[in-house]
């Protein structure tokens, strides 16, 4: 029995020394996109661990009702709140809060006015989405 316990501890130490990282041990670098948002591996990780159904951000033009709703909801939810996170860290680099805009095809906000502009754009997209849902189905299809 003593040899089994020794074998287990050997396996654990060899896994640690191999340089592999896991999300539990703080190896979340591969889950986060350095330019903002999550990577595909990050979305898969949260789907597996939390049951989340995350989609990548809408980078291009929000030209369909689904894209309008998703992008508008994101911009309003993250940039339309009263208490805002800092846009730059102590070193002057953009924070993850500021960088998440790039995952949705928006420029990184540098000032509070830029943040307000993103929130306003989100509200406009949601309003446009609501109007598209109020139109008759025949008119939406271009008939």
Per-residue pLDDT band for 14 (boundaries 50, 70, 90) equals very low
Is 4 within a domain? no
Say if residues 137 and 94 touch (Cβ distance below 8 Å): no
Q: Determine the average pLDDT of the residues in 50-78.
A: 89
Residue 50 reports pLDDT greater than 60: yes
Is 45 within a domain? no
Is 99 within a domain? yes
Is 38 within a domain? no
Say if residues 96 and 36 touch (Cβ distance below 8 Å): yes
pTM score, two decimals?
0.66
Is 24 within a domain? no
Per-residue pLDDT band for 16 (boundaries 50, 70, 90) equals very low
Is 142 within a domain? no
- Cα separation, 74 vs 71, whole angstroms: 5
- Cα separation, 69 vs 65, whole angstroms: 6
Q: Which of 19-23, 67-71, 103-107 has the lowest mean pLDDT?
A: 19-23
Q: Which of 31-40, 58-67, 69-78, 118-127 has the lowest mean pLDDT?
A: 31-40
- Cα separation, 132 vs 68, whole angstroms: 10
Q: Which residue has better confidence, 27 or 65?
A: 65
Percent of the chain with pLDDT over 90: 42
Domain count, the chain: 1
What is the extent of the structural domain holding 92? 65-135
- Cα separation, 108 vs 106, whole angstroms: 7
Exposed e or buried b for every residue in 80-107, given b needs 16+ CB within 10 A? eeeeeeebeeeeeebeebbbbbbbbebe
């Amino acid at each position: 029995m003593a040899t089994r316990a020794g074998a287990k501890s050997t396996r654990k130490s060899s896994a640690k020394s191999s340089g592999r990282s896991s999300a539990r041990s703080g190896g979340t670098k591969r889950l986060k996109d350095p330019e903002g948002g999550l990577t595909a591996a990050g979305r898969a990780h949260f789907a597996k661990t939390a049951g989340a159904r995350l989609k990548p951000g809408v980078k291009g033009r929000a030209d369909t009702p689904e894209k309008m709703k998703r992008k508008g909801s994101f911009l309003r939810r993250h940039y339309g709140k009263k208490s805002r996170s800092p846009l730059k860290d102590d070193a002057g680099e953009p924070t993850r809060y500021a960088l998440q805009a790039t995952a949705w095809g928006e420029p990184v906000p540098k000032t509070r006015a830029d943040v307000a502009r993103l929130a306003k754009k989100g509200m406009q997209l949601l309003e446009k989405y609501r109007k598209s849902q109020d139109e008759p189905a025949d008119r939406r299809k271009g008939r």
